[in-house]
A and B are shown apart, each in its own frame.
Chain A
């Protein structure tokens, strides 16, 4: 068996083993169906739920909210990172704030965001954005820090202006770090939005899961939870695969 094959089957065993164990435990009634339903029923529930207009609307609402928060965080995080990188004094001032950023429980600001933006998607976008922004900003700073100084000299030797230096030299050199930021920003935007919907929203997947939980609709709750889980895994898996492809191109894969 090849190395890749061994990794694949090990991965299947790591995921499949506990799932099979859970399935057996549920079927043999070691675990009450009021607590957890068998994974096979979660899959069936997820498939049937995805055929309903109500759930599809929730999926659309959540994904569009995540997408807006993510894109805004990536764009603004990159721009702010680039600006701050060019202003060392400002950077020295805000570095400690960035380092302690994630120790702040931002959900306490949700009522304030509702008061500011109203009961619509904007507070959720803001929460997702607030969560995702520093990941991209920090990654941008790190990426720009790690561009070897000699690359800038090479750009000058080729008499490139600042715009061509940025797009042809700095950006590609910083790309591995930027990509880390993009991956983290997506994860944080997802967490922020779903958690926000869970707590105070009246729509979206997080709200649907919370509603099912409060109504003791286990089948719906687990079906939706599985969908959220698979969505996060698939999205991250796609980004991981793309990143691995880029790294292989650089001969580091």
Chain B
């Protein structure tokens, strides 16, 4: 994408170096890295362990400042704070254990001062959308890991973000649940029209869900391949039986194999 104004999110020369300590050298975690994500695109990032995938998400979300380079969301620079319109779902269980499912999902809307009726309407919709209607009064500890992750997705979804950043949200789930959660994510993406950036270590997940997959190198993470999947917008987990799915996954692995070996010190 060459037209800067068309990008929903844009990174230019983004680098992140974590300062060292007394006995530790600085860690060059990311970049320099360029990326344009189009409005409504489902973009996934795969890469070897420790390549800076989560750092990329933190920097794009405004949770961590880049050491160099610039980030823009909807044309405005991202600096020091999460921009309005950006929602993040984290890898770890981030549901608040002291709140019910309903109150967890309503958390952001209440903080934003939204009126009670509208909050209730949006929360009920989000809870129903994520299949949690029967558990609105439950506490997170009474739910499975997958359900808790859905609570976190609902808490982000209810804010109606235009850019949803997901950091390995299904990493702790079993394969079957991940496939089903992937279907729910695709449904969410279609119905909201949001742009999605998904960080994942699962090549099949990236191949199944994405319009485009960025393959990152070992640290410092840079994109070494961008793979267009060519899937139709109306898709679900059944595409894993499509011959093209195998070809995409094979290409991702082909790009990633050497980098993964570097990451574990075999090369």
Contacts and interface: CB of A to CB of B under 8 A. Distances in A.
Interface in B73-114: 81-82, 84, 86-88, 90-94, 96-98, 107-108, 111-112
B90 A150 contact: yes
Interface stretch (B35-43, B125-133, B138-146, B257-265): B138-146
Contacts of B111: 158, 160, 164, 168
Contacts of B108: 157-158
B159 to A, nearest CB: 8
Contact of B81 (A153, A159, A249, A252): A159
A84 interface: no
B139 A157 contact: no
A251 B139 contact: yes
Interface string A44-66: 00000000000000000000000
B61 interface: yes
Interface in B137-181: 138-142, 156
B88 A153 contact: yes
Contacts of B90: 150, 153-154
Contacts of A148: 92, 94
Interface residues of B, number: 26
Query: Contact residue range for chain A?
Result: 20 to 34
Contacts of B188: none
A117 to B, nearest CB: 41
Interface string A170-194: 0011010000000000000000000
A220 B31 CA distance: 79
B82 A169 contact: no
B133 to A, nearest CB: 19
B92 A150 contact: yes
Given A148-B94, A173-B96, A250-B97, A156 B139 contact: no
A154 B94 contact: yes
B63 interface: yes
B158 to A, nearest CB: 11
A9 interface: no
Nearest to A164: B111
B35 to A, nearest CB: 21
A157 B97 CA distance: 18
A251 B87 CA distance: 27
Contacts of B98: 172-173, 175, 249-250
Contacts of B142: 251
A79 B61 CA distance: 32
Chain A interface, DSSP helix/strand/loop, else mixed: helix
B85 to A, nearest CB: 11
A119 B234 CA distance: 83
Contacts of A157: 61, 63, 82, 86-88, 108, 156
Contacts of B61: 157
Interface string B205-236: 00000000000000000000000000000000
Interface string A123-166: 00000000000000000000000001011011011111000100
A182 B96 CA distance: 22
A151 B139 contact: no
Nearest to A253: B141
B189 to A, nearest CB: 19
Given A153-B63, A172-B98, A175-B98, A250 B139 contact: yes
Contacts of A175: 98
Contacts of A151: 94, 96
Contact of A169 (B81, B96, B139): B96
B82 A159 contact: yes
B100 to A, nearest CB: 9
Contacts of A172: 96, 98
Nearest to B109: A158
Determine which residue in A168, A175, A250 has the highest number of CB atoms from chain B within 10 A of its CB, and name it.
Answer: A250
Interface of B: 61, 63, 81-82, 84, 86-88, 90-94, 96-98, 107-108, 111-112, 138-142, 156
Interface of A: 148, 150-151, 153-154, 156-160, 164, 168-169, 172-173, 175, 249-252
15 contacts: A148-B94, A150-B91, A156-B63, A157-B61, A157-B108, A158-B111, A159-B82, A168-B111, A169-B96, A172-B98, A173-B96, A173-B98, A175-B98, A251-B138, A252-B141
Would you list the 5 A-B pairs with minimal beta carbon distance, nearest first? Answer: A251-B141, A251-B139, A150-B92, A251-B142, A150-B94
Given A156-B82, A157-B108, 8 more contacts: A148-B92, A150-B91, A154-B90, A157-B61, A157-B156, A168-B111, A252-B97, A252-B141
